Structure 1
Amino acid sequence: MTQTEPGRRERKKAATRLALSVAARDLFLERGFDNVTVAEIADAADTAVSTLFAHFPGGKEALVLGHGRAREEALAAAVRDRAEDVSILQALRDFLATRGPFDPDPDPLSRRVADLVVATPALRAYARTLWTGCEDALTKVIAEQSGQDDFSVRLLARYVLEIPDLVGVEPDPGAALDAALDAAFTFLRRGWPEF
């Protein structure tokens, strides 16, 4: 089936979502997350507060971090689409190494946003919720790919999904984060060597 170009309505919705996200990001970086209201964001994007919540029902946090669906799909694809010689745990480690504060070569704006998330309790909590919200999908894909379907698979998924919150707040970015990520997966490999 050939995918068609989005219609005008879909393009307008996407443009509104982008305008809201950019306005929120810019205001948050300028004044801090807690010092910006949804009304100010809507005004900066030239839209109504009700429109903001229609596009981002998760509120201010979702304006920065989005929703969990894309993250869930990307996480499952990292496991499902890995090369034959790559273990499940290595695929997950490699996936996390490219996300948020783990990104080895972020552009300056992405680094500022990642720092904002780590420094803002509400954003950090929301980010953790987005990761842990992927538990069912990750458990399912690990079970499919490993041929195992028991409590240990769900436990592994939950531990992996806690890593971004635990490791992502290391005080020194860069090599320290990479080392902390490696350490987390070294411990996981001890408990789940078959993965």
Structure 2
Amino acid sequence: MTEPPTGRRERKKAATRQAIADAALRLFLERGYDHVSIRDIAEAADVSTTTVFKHFTGKEALVFDREESTDAGLAAAVRGRETGQSVIDALRTHVLDTWLPIAAHPQREAFNHLVASTPALRAYAERRWTRHADTLGAAIADAFGVEHGNLACAALARFALEVPVLAQGRKDRRAAVEEVFGILADGWQPPGTPSG
């Protein structure tokens, strides 16, 4: 979890960045991604196009405005876990704390449709997912003192990142997250098999 900016300048910068991201998402959802320019976004946010590019690397980054903090949050979940807490339990807590509020957001379905229906955004999301998997896999490897790229660590990272996808359409998302992390922790059992 990132700390809120404390200084006046940092708060102002964060507010400008958020205003730009909010304006961009609103316009993308209203008009479609391909029908919105950086200039449109700058005008809607009441900033210059130069200011937009000071905060975002490109148009795709405006849609995924929180992605930079995602990498840091994943690594911190593993590295900052409590003594005795397993990596899987730390990741479970992280997903429940960060993803459940996002999944419940009233614009989430429209956002998912925007990404799914826009090839450039789908490709960008896939690249970001790979980056998150690499970052998380490296943090898990560090936790166990093994080389980055260790297959078990890479697999756990990828499985953990798929949990929100698997839980998305479920009535009880929390229970779905808990169930999938239970499978990761305890191993898969055929449905209907008594546990224990």
TM-score by length of 1: 0.69
Shift of 1:23: 0.8
CA distance in 2 between partners of 1:26 and 1:56 (Å): 16
Q: Is residue 92–residue 178 contact of structure 2 (8 Å, CA) maintained in 1?
A: yes
The residue that corresponds to 2:146 in the other structure is 148
Aligned identity (percent) is: 36
**2:38 alignment partner in structure 1:** 38
Distance 1:40 1:104 in 2: 26
Deviation, structure 1 residue 85: 5.0
Q: Deviations over 1:7-26 (max 9, x none)?
A: 44x44433321221111111
Q: Please give the alpha-carbon distance, in whole angstroms, between the structure 2 residues aligned to 1:166 and 1:120.
A: 18
Q: How many angstroms apart in 2 are the aligned matches of 1:86 and 1:129?
A: 30
1:139 aligned partner: 137
Task: Note the aligned Cα RMSD (angstroms).
Answer: 3.6
Number of residues of Structure 1 aligned to a counterpart in Structure 2: 183
Distance 1:124 1:179, change over 3 A: farther
**Which residue, out of 117, 122, 125, partners 1:124?**
122
CA contact (8 A) 1:132 1:161 kept: no
Mark the runs of 5 or more structure 2 residues left unpaired by the alignment: 189-196
Look up the match of 1:92: 91
Q: Tell me which amino acid in the other structure corresponds to 2:25.
A: R
Say if 1:167 and 1:5 are closer, same or farther in 2 by CA, change over 3 A: closer
Are the aligned partners of 1:21 and 1:64 in contact in 2 as well (CA < 8 Å)? yes
Structure 1 partner of 2:29: 29
Counterpart CA distance in 2 for 1:188 and 1:18 is: 37
Please, which runs of 5 or more residues in structure 1 have no aligned partner?
A: none
TM-score normalised over the length of structure 2: 0.69
Whole-Å separation in 2 of the counterparts to 1:124 and 1:181: 27
Distance in 1, matches of 2:101 and 2:173, equals 12
Residue 107 of structure 1 aligns to a residue in which SS? coil
